[in-house]
Structures are given as C-alpha cells and as structure tokens.
Amino acid sequence: MNTNILISNLTNPVLLFFILGVLATIVKSDLEIPASSAKFISLYLLFSIGFRGGQELVHSGINETIIITLVLALLFSIIVPVYVFYLLRWKLNVSDAGAVASAYGSVSAVTFISAASFLEMNNTPYGGHMVAAMAMMEAPAIVVGMILIRKYEKSQEKTSSFKTVLHDAFTNGSVWMILGSLFIGLIADTKQAEGIKPFTSDIFKGFLAIFLLEMGMVAAKRFKAFIQYGWFVTVISIIIPLFNGFMAVWISSFWHIETGNRFMLAILAASASYIAVPAAMRLAAPKADPGLYIPMALGLTFPFNISIGMPLYWLLIEWIPTV
C-alpha cells in the first residue's frame, strides 16, 4: 500500500518537472524561465490557491466540529512557524529561518492528495471542509513568517516598529494576493465563479509544472547552501513533521473529530509547503535561499511523510482515541 502511494506521487508530472529542472542545471542546459514569467506564475498560483480556498469554505457548511477543526488548523499555521523560526535561528539567518518557518507552518497540497489516497485505500471518509482547512493554513503561515523576518531585519537596523512590521507583512504583494483572493472566493457568487473556473482550476497544474521546473533549476544551482548546513537541516526536516503530526493527533483527541479528519489534520500539520510559500518568498523574501527551504520541504519532508509519516500518524490515531 505505502509503495503504491510512494510510486504514484513520485511519478506525478508536476514533481517530475521539478526533477527535470534539477537535471537541466546538472547538465548545464541553457533552459531558462524569464524572470517576468516566473513572477507572473508565482502570483497566479497564489491567486488560484486563495480563490479556491474561499470557495471551499463557502461550500463546506458550518457546525461545531467543523469550526473546531478549522480553528485547530488555523492555530497550527500560526504557532508552528513561530517555534520553528526560533529553533532555526540557532543556525540560520533571519530570511532563511523565516522562509523555512513559513514552509513548515504552511501545507503541501500534494501531500494532502496522497493522504486522501491513503484514506481511500483504508475505506475511511473525510470531510470536504478539510480542503478549506488546507487553504486556510497557507496565508497565516506566510504572514507570520513575514512578520518575523521584517521584525528581526528591522531590529538589526534599529528601526523596529511592530505597526510597520505588521503593515509590511500584510501589504506585501504575495500575502495581499492570497488573502485578497481568499476573501473574493468567500463572497463571490458561485455561478459567476464557474465562469473563471478554467483559469482558477483547469490550468493550475500546468502552471504548477512550469513553476516547479523553474524551482528545480533554482534549487539545484543553490544546492551548496543546503549541504553546508549538514546534519542540522536534515534532522530538522524529519523532526518537525514528526512533532507536528503527533501534536495534531494528540490535541484533536480532546474533541469528537472523526478518524479521517484527524488524520488529515495531522497530515496538514506535518506537511511543508513547496508551492505557495516558495511562490510567496520569491517575491517577499528574495534574500531567503530557495536552495535551502525547497530541498527541505520537497526533498526530505515530503518523501518522509508519504512513506513513513502516514502509516505512523494512522497508528498514533489508533493508539490515542478521542476522549
């Protein structure tokens, strides 16, 4: 079962394009994505994720359990980047620590899809509101990461002002795009929203493939930045998802949340973003090295979660039943 999930995800076309980008750099190909095109694709991905998340929130409906689940997801996306940032400051600079913290506070849509396949193979349903939870966890983690980056960068310049830091974080183009798109998705008429579905959904994976192709080239060019941190970033890439997944399973046991939804919450907490956060950080934190936070999220945490993490979180849910 786990082998099938692993093979299915590692043969996903968009991930294969990431590998193609890495190989392009290794063989010294002259393949290049124009900077203006790369910026447009980054903004498009943020727009699509935010808008679709708002639409999912509208369709999910509301009850007490759903509210609790969404609040827990939101809290994870706020708390995780904070503790990860201060943990990473032991070894990393402000920009890199903030970008990695945002990545681990945010989520991986591909890991979420893998988790859905895992539940399907175990004949366990999950609620549609978990898609909304996934979308909700994107923006807060980016905002928190940006607040931390702005705060400490400005403190180093001795011009720190929390009001300024907060303003900079929320008005940053990438954050503004995903938050604004989420809000528009919430208030947009459903029938009218169908009219732009070909743009918001149908072409998403195509643009995602090109984005990961470019990210593969960027990551490969800066892979030395990953190697130089050695064991520290490697261990962190495994410990953080383990800790977050366990905490999600344990905390969710205090409410009568269904097994499938608890599992999805654990996966969301344990996963790391290599789509929305790199798209945001490329614009918001250009000093942060993609050769560090992309390999951590995509090269280590992602394969760990789909091969070892999922069955482990599943066992934890069985060992820690709801109260």
DSSP assignments along 23-60, one per residue: HHHHTT------HHHHHHHHHHHHHHHHHHHHHHHHHH
How confident is the model at residue 80, as a pLDDT? 96
Which residues touch 183 (CB under 8 Å, ≥6 apart)?
Answer: 54
* Chain-centre distance for alpha carbon 110: 9
CA separation for the pair 108, 300 (Å, rounded)? 13
How confident is the model at residue 216, as a pLDDT? 80
Are the CB atoms for 216 and 22 separated by under 8 Å? yes
CA separation for the pair 166, 146 (Å, rounded)? 9
- Among 189, 208, 202, 222, smallest CA distance to 296 is for 222
Q: Which residue type is seen at 125?
A: P
CB atoms within 10 A of CB 153: 19
DSSP line for 289-303: -HHHHHIIIIIIIHH
Are the CB atoms for 276 and 297 separated by under 8 Å? no
What radius of gyration do the chain's Cα atoms show? Answer: 19
How confident is the model at residue 154, as a pLDDT? 64
For the domain made up of 2-8+34-319, give the CATH fold: Na+/H+ antiporter like fold (1.20.1530)
For each successive 10 residues of the chain (323 residues), what is the average pLDDT? Answer: 59 80 91 88 84 79 86 95 94 91 89 81 83 83 88 60 63 78 86 87 85 81 70 91 96 92 95 83 80 84 84 91 81
How confident is the model at residue 166, as a pLDDT? 63
- Could you report how far apart the first and last alpha carbons of the chain are, in Å? 30
CA distances from 172 to 2, 166, 177, 179 (A): 40, 10, 8, 11
CA separation for the pair 119, 214 (Å, rounded)? 32
Q: Coil, strand or helix: which one is 273? A: coil
Domain boundaries, the chain: 2-8+34-319
- Among 250, 284, 288, smallest CA distance to 266 is for 250
| pTM recorded for the entire structure | 0.75
Q: What's 122's DSSP letter? A: T
